[in-house]
Amino acid sequence: MYKDIMVKSEGTMKKTINFLKDELASIRAGKANPKLVDRIQVSYYGTMTPLNQIANISVPDPRSIVIQPWDSNSLKDIEKAILTSDLGINPNNDGKIIRLAIPPLTEERRKELLKLVKKETENSKVAIRNTRREANEEFKKLEKSSELTKDEQKRAEDEMQKLTDKYIDLIDTIYKDKEDEILEV
Q: What is the mean pLDDT of each run of 10 residues along the chain (185 residues)?
A: 88 94 77 78 86 87 87 86 81 86 81 89 95 93 89 92 95 92 76
Q: What is the pTM of this model?
A: 0.72
CA distance 138 to 145: 11
Domain 34-101 has CATH 3.40.50.150: no
| Distant-in-sequence, close-in-space partners of 96: CB < 8 Å, separation ≥ 6 | 68, 72, 75
- Give the distance, in angstroms, between the CA of residue 32 and the centroid of all CA atoms in the same chain: 16
CATH number for domain 2-25+106-183, candidates 1.10.132.20, 2.40.50.180, 1.10.357.10, 3.40.50.2300 = 1.10.132.20
Which pLDDT value is given to residue 185?
Answer: 61
CB-based contact 172:180 (threshold 8 Å): no
CATH 3.30.1360.40 in the chain is located at 34-101
Which pLDDT value is given to residue 28?
Answer: 67
Which pLDDT value is given to residue 90?
Answer: 84
Specify the 3-state DSSP secondary structure of 26: coil
CATH 1.10.132.20 in the chain is located at 2-25+106-183
Q: β-strands 91-93, 98-101: how paired? A: antiparallel
Q: How big, in percent rounded to 5, are the helix, strand and coil portions of the chain?
A: 65, 15, 20
Secondary structure letter of residue 36 according to DSSP: G
